[in-house]
Structure 1
Amino acid sequence: MRIATALCLSLGLLSEAALAAPDLILHHGRIVTMDEALSFSEAVAVEGGRIIAVGDNDSVLGLKGERTELLDLKGKTLMPGLMDSHVHPGSAAMIEFDHEIPTMETIADVLAYLTSRVKASKPGDLISLRQVFITRLEEKRYPTRAELDLVAPENPVVFSTGPDAMLNSLALKLAGIDRNYQLPKESPARVESDAKGEPTGLLRSFSPKIAAKAVTRSPTEADRYERTQALFRDYNSVGLTTVADRDCSFGQTALYEKLHQNGDLSVRMRVSMSIPAMSLWPATQKAIEEVVASPLTQPSTDLQIIGTKVYLDGGMLTGSSFMTEPWGISEAYGISDPEYRGVQKISADRLKQLVEMVTASGLQFTAHSVGDAAVKLLVDTYEEVNKTHSVRDARSSITHCNFMQPESIAKAARLGVCIDLQPIWLHMDGLTLTGHFGQERMKIFQPLRACFDQKVIVGGGSDHMQKIGSFRSVNPYNPWLGMWTAITRKAGKLNEPVHAENAITREEALRLYTTNNAYLLKLEKDTGSIEKGKLADLILVDRDPLDCPLDDLPQTQVLKTWLGGKVVFSR
């Protein structure tokens, strides 16, 4: 028998199926392969964690052996596992470790929460609230310094929304900030002042040291492990099989390594390491060298450092993204300077240094770039560096990229620059942004149609920051809601879509979270579609996202999720 087998192998006469029957056959389903042609099939065979056959029921079932598990899909839809190009698992998993944080929709909700924290604290304890974005509050503004003083007269309070924060009087005092406070000359930060020159409490791109400590429970290493594992299981429950940590530390990668070693890592991890962009250059250079030297930069489908991440501007949700035209005076955002264009955090010269060093190593460079001026600066920098070496080969990227001029889209297409974008922001924040910027400026907000038409690779992400739960989280990481938003361009509490001409098709929305993300995250040879040879990262869903009633798409239920052919979630 051995001689016969060897002879058949040498003559190429023995089929793969005869050598090794599949572990698993999924059959009688509607299989959306997401291959280049968007073909459909009926059955899939899996062996050793990879797909060995895709085809009609009879041909694939003909491969079964004695040990093959058969699963009749009964006509339900099978798809590739979904990917999220931008999450922050470290903070997201732990934010409610000390206590549950309620959803806040009004200033009254914010003040009620802070009042409850005052009652649970002692005078002098630091009280902080992070990532309650003013664009999502009914009043569309920051709580004032006076309002914070009223509920917490004896506690320093920091209401932080990403790069910006509102402080109460005691917090300002303990930080040493008064009308005479001077920031370092080259700092991009701002301390906003009223007409009398007194600090309003609003700080832009600035986190001062406050001489007080928050009194909260401290998690153990085991706590972090268990909560991160629980978060990843929840990712699996909405169909996510791959995620990218877009601001990671070596301490966090060590946790991912431990989860992987123990067989508890239920998603494929792609990592962008945080870099101190504006330190003295020797320190920044050393930080990049440490990333480049890490063994985790070696190709791996399970856990890999794919690049670095820096912050080029502030946030659109907080009034500090770097814009081509002035923001405009706004009570909501606390803007009184008619010429204010937001915050540029990294100088052009330093940005070029960073891009050159990271891309030369073959790693993906990406920068938080929200405003159209920040996007233009980064794309222009990629163009300069591309004269020396290919930025396309390194999968150079722009993170967020919410406002994007046509010229920047064309240049990104020519250079092969990818985009890591969060469609959900249109749904969550479109009302406030349209109210502030107006219809004309919103034409360039998340211009997905133009990006797809010019073949710019855009990956869909969530920027998940806090809480476990795909709809209750900040920001929601439910990919089906992200797809629906990209297709409909509908924003909460707005009657009309936000520039429907920028919408994309259902197939294109699926590609945001499958094939496009696979390319963006350097996994396109192994994931993103259901094709022979690729990893068996699969999801079974209760409806076909290509033809179900469109407004039902966000309620899509994942029935089962496989990672490398192993079930990691079952409803």
Structure 2
Amino acid sequence: MKLFVRLVLLLCSSAIYAQTTLIHNVHGYSPTQKGELTTFTTLVFKDGKVVKTGNDSIIDEFPQANKIDGKERTLLPGLIDAHGHIIGLGNNLLQLDLRGSQSVNEVGKKLQAYAAQAPKGWITGRGWDQTLWPGKQFPTARQLDEYINDRPVVLTRVDGHAVWTNSKAMALAGINKDSDTPPGGEVIRLNNGQPSGVFIDKAEQLIVTHIPPATDEQRQLALNTAGKHLLSLGITSAHDAGIEYATWHLYQQRAKQHTLPLRIYGMLSAGDSHLSEMLKHGVIKEKNDYLSIRSVKIYADGALGSRGAALLEDYHDRKGHKGLMLETQPQLETLLKQSFSHGYSAHTHAIGDKANRIVLDSYENIFNKVGGKLLRNRIEHAQIVHPNDIKRFKALSIIPSMQPIHATSDMHMAEQRLNNEQLRGAYAWQTFLTQGSKIAAGSDFPVELANPFHGLHAAVTRMSRNSQPKNGWRAQETLNREQALRAFTLDAAYAAFQEYKLGSLEQGKWADFILVDKDYFKVNAAQIADIQVLQTWLAGNLVYQR
């Protein structure tokens, strides 16, 4: 009998070891809950979770583990993008991509080529940016008509805060000289008062509500496409900033089927007509941490590039114009109260200094009336903040959810839109960290490319990919490499109530990690953006290999 027991114990021990994997010969780095950066050469994980990290001496502790030689590559925690649009990214990868187009003519040629192979009906695309074109003026429907006039065309600006249409689309939408402009929106008009074809912020709805809705099959394809792309970039978790009712259903369906391609933290879109219904279902949390839905995404203003960001003073390059508030303060406070009453956090888009101030005022008022301060509420973007308001983030426990790549993408445009006084609190990452705020970093894909190493490079250098300006733009706000990595890992996890499950390679946490081709902490700063992901592991499973 004793021999039988010993054999059973031996078999059980072997089974346990068979489930243990050990990756050694790596240059491993991870932030920790204690605020330190730990380094290691060996990572051990079992059943999808971290067992131990350490030097080569721990290898002997796991004699029957499955051993993988890391070949001296660098190992980092899986990166977390704290602000993106997953279905939007998938759609962007599948539709007409206009990013980087240098003129209307270049857009037109891409449009014609795409239309020749696209199914009949509405043509959609995204990525145009008039600030890259000669003259930097908004385009017109007539210019699009020169390329496609027999099918409706709707092209979304790179930031998502404006659409450019042809005349066919406006006709199908019933848009004419007498069409009203909705509050929180702007219809760009010609000298004769006719709509030009560009619709900003809430005026977009005049057009986009007429586009046939996506099918479930299209949403599934967009999710799969985006997931595959994000994993290839080392992103193991993404915060989806504004999901509508159909996507809310889709994510829950895929979570139940265990087929979500990566971890998703979803924010309900405050503008969705089903918001109340979704909130009534309460917080959604999948047991393996693949899906968490516990926040509401609210829009306070527009974007800087389309002059929709709400400012305290006039735009430097458009006198008499201060941008657009998409919600009044009473409306914001109603949405905050509604979110908090269901245990949901509120994550509010605010780019301009006026919008940030009004949002902070709204949070403060509702905290004083009904509470909610402990819900890890966020301001998404927090790009242009009056210096007097930065300290209020810390006082009100508001997390600045910021996208480092925006600073280097926007720097030339921002200096045109704003004067030096307005820029004093712009993209102020180091100022936020110094006062004790945690920054949740992301990219805002597909507004920007999803590659997190572009964001890490921007955070560390405040330079463009070609190392301009020489010493960095407003370089006092740069982050060091450890701060930047933490913002894309542990602090992003904190912003989703997940710091005890994700964001670092500490014992008991999910074994989400990546192997890359260059040492992030040792490579020349200019080369951070060029780092390539070789492998991505999610819950101890290899899900991408280059």
TM superposition score category, shorter chain reference: 0.7 to 0.9
Q: Distance in 1 between matches of 2:302 and 2:506?
A: 41
Distance change (3 Å), C-alpha of 1:568 and 1:157: closer
Distance change (3 Å), C-alpha of 1:292 and 1:507: farther
Q: Distance in 2 between matches of 1:126 and 1:225?
A: 20
Distance change (3 Å), C-alpha of 1:287 and 1:257: closer
Deviation of 1:153 after TM superposition, in Å, equals 4.9
Partner of 1:333: none
Deviation of 1:451 after TM superposition, in Å, equals 0.7
1:243 to 238, 245, 268: 238
Secondary structure class of the residue paired with 2:278: helix
Counterpart amino acid of residue 284 in structure 2: L
Partner of 2:139: 143
Partner of 1:321: 309
Q: Distance in 2 between matches of 1:212 and 1:540?
A: 43
Counterpart amino acid of residue 483 in structure 2: E
* Equivalent residues of 2:98, 2:125 under 8 A apart: no
Gaps spanning 5+ residues in structure 2: where?
6-12
Partner of 1:309: 297
* Equivalent residues of 1:288, 1:358 under 8 A apart: no
Partner of 1:84: 81
Distance change (3 Å), C-alpha of 1:374 and 1:2: farther
* Equivalent residues of 1:451, 1:457 under 8 A apart: yes
1:205-225 per-residue CA deviation (whole Å, 9 max, x = no partner) reads 20254599779xx97645543
Deviation of 1:274 after TM superposition, in Å, equals 0.9
Residues 114-133 of structure 1: matches in 2 within 5 Å?
114-116=111-113, 126-133=122-129
Partner of 2:9: none
Deviation of 1:269 after TM superposition, in Å, equals 1.0
Distance change (3 Å), C-alpha of 1:226 and 1:149: closer
Partner of 1:351: 332
Partner of 2:390: 409
* Equivalent residues of 1:424, 1:462 under 8 A apart: yes
* Equivalent residues of 1:561, 1:569 under 8 A apart: yes
Residues 253-268 of structure 1: matches in 2 within 5 Å?
253-268=248-263
* Equivalent residues of 1:362, 1:393 under 8 A apart: no
1:533 to 508, 531, 534: 508
2:268 to 273, 277, 297: 273
Q: Distance in 2 between matches of 1:194 and 1:102?
A: 26
Secondary structure class of the residue paired with 2:368: coil
Partner of 2:481: 506
Deviation of 1:256 after TM superposition, in Å, equals 2.8
Deviation of 1:267 after TM superposition, in Å, equals 1.4
Q: Distance in 1 between matches of 2:377 and 2:328?
A: 19
Q: Distance in 1 between matches of 2:152 and 2:545?
A: 46
Secondary structure class of the residue paired with 2:455: helix
* Equivalent residues of 2:30, 2:77 under 8 A apart: yes
Partner of 1:11: none
1:376 to 352, 357, 360: 357
* Equivalent residues of 2:393, 2:437 under 8 A apart: yes
Distance change (3 Å), C-alpha of 1:52 and 1:389: farther
Counterpart amino acid of residue 202 in structure 1: V
* Equivalent residues of 1:33, 1:529 under 8 A apart: yes
TM-score (norm 2): 0.87
Q: Distance in 1 between matches of 2:131 and 2:395?
A: 34
1:385 to 337, 362, 366: 366
Partner of 2:452: 479
Distance change (3 Å), C-alpha of 1:488 and 1:139: farther
| 2:491 counterpart of 1:495 | no
Partner of 2:8: none
Distance change (3 Å), C-alpha of 1:138 and 1:296: farther
Distance change (3 Å), C-alpha of 1:168 and 1:241: closer
Partner of 2:538: 563
Deviation of 1:149 after TM superposition, in Å, equals 4.0
Deviation of 1:324 after TM superposition, in Å, equals 1.2
* Equivalent residues of 2:232, 2:536 under 8 A apart: yes
Deviation of 1:347 after TM superposition, in Å, equals 1.1
Residues 8-19 of structure 1: matches in 2 within 5 Å?
none
Partner of 1:56: 55
Deviation of 1:116 after TM superposition, in Å, equals 4.2
Q: Distance in 1 between matches of 2:171 and 2:525?
A: 53
Counterpart amino acid of residue 313 in structure 1: D
Distance change (3 Å), C-alpha of 1:561 and 1:167: closer
Secondary structure class of the residue paired with 2:61: coil
Q: Distance in 1 between matches of 2:292 and 2:357?
A: 29
Deviation of 1:127 after TM superposition, in Å, equals 4.5
Residues 162-181 of structure 1: matches in 2 within 5 Å?
162-181=160-179
Secondary structure class of the residue paired with 2:395: helix
Partner of 1:437: 418
Q: Distance in 1 between matches of 2:194 and 2:288?
A: 54
Deviation of 1:407 after TM superposition, in Å, equals 2.1
| 2:14 counterpart of 1:40 | no
Q: Distance in 1 between matches of 2:325 and 2:265?
A: 27
Q: Distance in 2 between matches of 1:244 and 1:121?
A: 31
* Equivalent residues of 1:49, 1:536 under 8 A apart: yes
* Equivalent residues of 1:229, 1:264 under 8 A apart: no
* Equivalent residues of 1:429, 1:491 under 8 A apart: no
Deviation of 1:33 after TM superposition, in Å, equals 2.0
RMSD: 3.3
Deviation of 1:19 after TM superposition, in Å, equals 10
| 2:254 counterpart of 1:288 | no
Q: Distance in 2 between matches of 1:191 and 1:119?
A: 30
2:437 to 443, 456, 467: 456
1:240-261 per-residue CA deviation (whole Å, 9 max, x = no partner) reads 1111111112322333334334
| 2:170 counterpart of 1:189 | no
Deviation of 1:542 after TM superposition, in Å, equals 1.7
Q: Distance in 1 between matches of 2:112 and 2:465?
A: 29
Deviation of 1:138 after TM superposition, in Å, equals 5.5
Identity, % of aligned positions: 24
Partner of 1:551: 526
Deviation of 1:273 after TM superposition, in Å, equals 0.9
Aligned length: 533
Q: Distance in 2 between matches of 1:164 and 1:101?
A: 14
Q: Distance in 2 between matches of 1:501 and 1:360?
A: 40
Q: Distance in 2 between matches of 1:87 and 1:266?
A: 15
Distance change (3 Å), C-alpha of 1:453 and 1:210: closer
Q: Distance in 1 between matches of 2:436 and 2:406?
A: 22
TM-score (norm 1): 0.84
Counterpart amino acid of residue 235 in structure 2: L
Partner of 2:10: none
Q: Distance in 2 between matches of 1:455 and 1:523?
A: 19
Counterpart amino acid of residue 378 in structure 1: V
Q: Distance in 1 between matches of 2:101 and 2:518?
A: 32
Of 24-33 and 498-507, more deviation after overlay is shown by 24-33
Counterpart amino acid of residue 430 in structure 2: R
Gaps spanning 5+ residues in structure 1: where?
6-16, 278-282, 331-337, 466-473
| 2:104 counterpart of 1:107 | yes
